Copies of this chain bind each other. A is one copy, B any other.
Amino acid sequence: MKEIKAEILSWRPPRFSDFTLTRPFDDFQRALASLGIDAVHYARIDEERGLEEAVQAAIGKASIVCVVMEEGDRWQDRLDPLRKMMAKVSRKRLTLTGKSDIGLLPGGTDVFIDSQTGAPLLLLPFSLPDSSTPTLLIVSPGGEAVLKRLLKEVEKTILKLFDLRTRGRWVRMCGVQEEAIRKWRDQAALGAEVEVKLFPAPAGIDFLVRSRQETSLKSVIETIEERWGVFCYSWEGDTLEEVVGRLLLQQKKWLAIAESCTGGRISARITRIPGSSRYFDAACVTYSYPSKERLVGVPKEILEAKGAVSAEVAAAMADGIRRREGVDLGLSVTGIAGPDGGTAEKPVGLVYIAVSDRQETIPERFLFQGDREEIQAQAAQMALEKVRRNLLRNERLKTQE
């Protein structure tokens, strides 16, 4: 079987955003990977005149070519050069789609409309004269967000068009060492038809399990669940803030956070989720000594005796924010993100995380590796994981009743 390759073309200027939450095309790339399509190339198209040339070159190398446009509300303005390009590379004639705001498209184009913006996602399968495998051109005039929202439709088309038998599942873990997972994977008898890929993630690891046989995929997933289940926060590719959000909503609990070295990252992740105001009450980023006293009520004596980065202060922060805000769960993080501020006794990367509920407050000690950004990201991830485990424990207690 010929290996199917994909190429992604981005028709837009690079965006120098200071604060993007995901890497470009993550969702698309992830979806392709779980169908067994690995080799992904990116190219940026600078000017309109280069579009057709770039797509032609990509078609020469890949069976799936995806053109993503700049985000924005002017997708209508871009339709004209796009439909011309689509007709030219596919050698198909333009015909009316029946949708008045889209008009002409090459025959055979599948049109999906994004419910949020009204922008179309265009899927055009065609055959090149000298090729036995089909080519799929995916065009998203509405940008990456539209592609992401209509990903299921793209997956369906790809599965059918290329008759793919490989299926994959993403499993995401927090709180395990990559080494341990790697060792287990290399030693476990997972079956020759099964492929397990590991991707490093902050404070954990993401798994991609692939197989051509549904039964062996299922059995490997079960093996992972048995051996590593407690560490797996997602079996569907969800983020930890999505998982924690759902648990809080189900259990009708409210969360408040006291952050220090993570500087607002946990709160920013929680509030990425629409509707998070139904379970997230507040966060205090207590970056100075006095603010830890004033905002979350850490006793001055503890701060002076133990220092801001200590189990005692983490516990007082989590307990303090929970009581002050009168919520079910308090979460706190205090640590040294670096690059300066570390000592022999308290090195860069030392982080305390505490979770406080109405029964107890438990601080834990961590030592993360990496630069400032990596330490902040790992601490935020682990903190969310600690909330998940607290919520799951209650879940389990409830089931046992």
Residues on A lying within 8 angstroms of B by beta carbon are 13-24, 26, 29-30, 38-44, 46, 70-71, 73, 116, 145, 197-202, 206, 239-241, 254, 256-257, 259, 261-272, 274-277, 280-288, 290-291, 294-295, 324-326, 337-341, 369-374, 376-377, 380-381
Contact = CB atoms under 8 A, between A and B. Distances in A.
A15 B200 contact: yes
Contact of A15 (B23, B71, B326): B23
Contacts of A269: 18-19
Contacts of A199: 13-16
Given A15-B199, A265-B268, A295-B325, 6 more contacts: A13-B197, A14-B40, A19-B377, A263-B267, A272-B373, A274-B339
Given A18-B22, A29-B14, A264-B271, A287 B291 contact: no
A285 B271 contact: yes
B201 A16 contact: yes
B23 A24 contact: yes
B284 A283 contact: yes
Contact of A372 (B43, B274, B325): B274
A276 B283 contact: no
Contact of A202 (B19, B44, B372): B19
A324 B24 CA distance: 41
B30 A40 contact: no
Contacts of A275: 340
B276 A206 contact: no
A399 to B, nearest CB: 29
Contacts of A380: 19
A326 B267 CA distance: 24
A28 to B, nearest CB: 11
Among A71, A201, A277, A374, residue most surrounded by chain B Cβ atoms (within 10 Å): A277
A19 B30 CA distance: 16
A270 B263 contact: yes
Given A43-B42, A271-B287, A14 B23 contact: yes
Contacts of A70: 200
Among A17, A275, A291, residue most surrounded by chain B Cβ atoms (within 10 Å): A17
Contacts of A270: 263
A284 B14 CA distance: 33
A291 B281 contact: yes
For the complex of A and B, 10 pairs with smallest distance between CB atoms = A263-B271, A264-B267, A264-B264, A282-B291, A283-B285, A264-B268, A42-B42, A281-B288, A267-B285, A13-B199
Given A13-B199, A287-B281, A288-B282, A18 B266 contact: no
Contact of A201 (B17, B198, B324): B17
Contacts of A46: 38-39
Contacts of A373: 21, 272
Nearest to A25: B14
A280 B261 CA distance: 12
Contacts of A24: 23
Given A26-B14, A275-B340, A372-B274, A325 B294 contact: yes
A16 B26 contact: yes
A241 B18 CA distance: 9
A265 B19 contact: yes
Contact of A116 (B201, B206, B286, B339): B339
A330 to B, nearest CB: 13
B325 A13 contact: no
Contacts of A283: 264, 283-285, 287
